[in-house]
């Protein structure tokens, strides 16, 4: 049903790869998604994704300050105290670096515009010479076509399988490398429109019967023609009330007591009309059909 649409939408949908270095020098890969609305290097993604992009500069600057202080230490015994002073507890990020995969050949600056209340942001690549994506989003023109029972698809990069990174002990830095696997597979997931999401300012989103997966945030929501209906933002978890406590079941012919609390996981997407309004407000060219 969505075969041709996925091929078309894949042309302008791209992954954001992130690597986080922890206190023990482990490197944790992560991913998110963005998609381009024109051929001028302008994309949209979730606000929470854009905030992570912005946070990397502050995180890396703090670690640079930490390293300067570390060089001044006269005793190794003071090392743990310095970690605590900078807030580097177990699980805290020492460094965070991002890679915009196959978006543009290079760029000198990112212009990030965040929506005042919705989980939506515009990302403009500045200083590029050549785009590396193909085509652009075409938004649904008539929102009345978004009704309960409509089957739609989302596309993103939820499973970070890339490993083209390493820790350079000599430089005390995490770096992107030429070897390894530089890609993660695209992953589509379908869903039925269940409800519209509304707040004090009116309808802002579309709820789907299946979850949006981690890493698909910022990915497009589209129909079988490839028209964009919205953008994957979050997943809600509704308690179903089918709770089981210490229920006896057979597992591999062995009697065991198990407990289970069932939830329904529903994807939440930013509505195409809200995205278009934000693009108009910021004088960004886009297309609709």
Detail the DSSP E strand segments found in the chain: 13-22, 27-36, 42-45, 93-100, 109-114, 121-126, 138-139, 151-156, 165-168, 173-176, 187-199, 202-208, 220-222, 228-239, 244-251, 254-260, 263-271, 287-288
Residue 76 — very low, low, confident or very high, per pLDDT cuts 50/70/90? low
CA distance 192 to 128: 38
CA dist 34 and 222 (Å) reads 14
Q: Is 252 left (phi over 0), alpha (psi -120 to 50) or beta?
A: left
Placement of tokens 């854009």 in the chain: 50
Total domains in the fold of the chain: 1
What is the model's pTM? 0.93
In sign, the C-alpha dihedral spanning 126, 127, 133, 135 is positive
Please give the share of the chain, as a percent, with pLDDT higher than 70.
99
Q: Which domain holds residue 195?
A: 3-288
CA atoms within 13 A on the CB side of 22: 9
Q: What DSSP string runs through 174-237?
A: EEE-SSS------EEEEEEEEEEEEETTEEEEEEESSPPPTT-TT-EEE-TT--EEEEEEEEEE
CB atoms within 10 A of CB 29: 16
SS3 144: helix
Whole-angstrom Cα Rg for the chain: 22
- pLDDT at res. 144: 86
Nearest CA to 202 out of 122, 114, 118 is that of 118
CATH code of the domain covering residue 242? 2.40.10.120
Per-residue model confidence as pLDDT tens digits over 11-34: 999 999 999 999 888 999 999 999
Look over the chain and give the mean of its residue pLDDT values, rounded to a whole number: 95
DSSP 8-state assignment for residue 66: H
287 and 272 Cβ atoms separated by less than 8 Å: no
For residues 120 and 273, give the distance between their C-alpha atoms in angstroms, rounded to a whole number: 12
Tell me if residue 107 falls in helix, strand or coil.
coil
Around Cβ 273, how many Cβ atoms within 10 Å? 18
Residue of 55 and 78 predicted with greater confidence = 55
Predicted confidence (pLDDT) per residue in 49-73, tens digit: 999 999 999 999 999 999 988 888 7
Mean pLDDT, residues 158-167 taken together: 96
Pairing of strands 138-139, 121-126: unpaired
At residue 90 the predicted structure's pLDDT band, cuts being 50, 70 and 90, is: confident
Of 5, 37, 14, which is closest to residue 136 (Cα–Cα)? 37
Indicate the DSSP class of residue 138. Answer: E
Q: If pLDDT is split at 50, 70 and 90, which confidence band does 74 have?
A: low
Name the helix (H) or strand (E) containing 273.
helix 272-281
């Amino acid at each position: 049903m969505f075969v041709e649409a996925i091929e078309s939408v894949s042309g302008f949908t791209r992954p954001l790869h992130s690597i986080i270095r922890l206190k023990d020098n482990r490197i944790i890969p992560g991913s998110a998604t963005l998609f381009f609305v024109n051929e001028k290097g302008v994309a949209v993604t979730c606000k929470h994704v854009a905030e992570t992009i912005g946070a990397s500069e502050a995180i890396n600057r703090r670690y640079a300050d930490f390293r300067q202080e570390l060089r001044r230490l006269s005793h190794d015994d003071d090392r743990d105290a310095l970690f605590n002073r900078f807030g580097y507890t177990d699980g805290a990020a020492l460094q965070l670096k991002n890679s915009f995969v196959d978006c543009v050949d290079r760029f000198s600056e990112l212009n990030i515009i965040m929506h005042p209340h919705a989980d939506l942001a515009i990302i403009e690549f500045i200083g590029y010479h050549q785009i590396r994506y193909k085509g652009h989003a075409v938004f649904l023109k008539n929102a009345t076509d978004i009704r309960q029972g409509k089957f739609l698809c989302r596309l993103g990069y939820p499973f970070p399988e890339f490993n083209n990174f390493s820790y350079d002990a000599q430089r005390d830095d995490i770096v992107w490398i030429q070897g390894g696997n530089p890609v993660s597979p695209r992953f589509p997931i379908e869903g039925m429109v269940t409800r519209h999401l509304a707040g004090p300012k009116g309808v802002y989103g579309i709820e789907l019967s299946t979850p949006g997966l981690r890493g698909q945030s910022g990915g497009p929501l589209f129909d079988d023609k490839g028209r964009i209906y919205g953008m994957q933002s979050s997943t809600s978890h509704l308690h179903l009330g089918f709770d089981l406590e210490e229920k006896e079941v057979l597992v591999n012919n062995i009697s065991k007591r198990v407990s289970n609390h069932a939830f329904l996981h529903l994807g939440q997407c930013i509505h195409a009309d809200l995205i278009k309004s934000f693009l108009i407000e910021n004088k960004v060219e886009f297309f609709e059909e």
